[in-house]
Amino acid sequence: MSVDKDTVAKIARLARVRVDESHKESLAKELSNILGWIEQLSELDTEGVEPMTSVVSMKLPLRDDAVTDGGYPNKVTANAPEGAHGFFAVPKVVE
C-alpha cells in the first residue's frame, strides 16, 4: 500500500497532529515503506483463526457498579495548562 501526501494529510487530521507541509512528502515515503513491509502478513492464510482478544486466558473481573473513588477535582485538574473552578478550560467552542 502506497501512501501519498493527501493520505498523510487525512490521517494527520484524524489523529489531530499538525504536520508541516514541507514534511508531508517525506512522511508519505516513510509510511509507505513501513506499510509495504507490514503487507507481508497477507501471505499468511488466517482463514478460521480467531483474532486474539486477551493475551492471558482470564475472565475480566467484575465489581459492583458503585462509586469507589473521587471527590477531589483540584487533584484531577492539578496538571491542566488552564483550569478554573475545578474544571478544565479549553478555547471557546460556542459563540
Q: Determine the Cα angle at 26 with ends 25 and 29, to 5°.
A: 95
Q: Does 66 bind other proteins (CB under 8 A)?
A: no
Q: Does 70 bind other proteins (CB under 8 A)?
A: no
Q: Determine the Cα angle at 1 with ends 21 and 24, to 5°.
A: 5
The distance of closest approach from Cβ of residue 67 to other proteins in the complex, given in angstroms and rounded to an integer, is 15
Find out whether 3 and 35 touch, Cβ atoms under 8 Å.
yes
Q: Binding residues for other proteins, per CB under 8 A?
A: 3, 7-8, 11-20, 27, 30-31, 33-35, 37-42, 44, 46, 49-56, 58, 60-61, 63, 75-82, 88, 90-91, 93
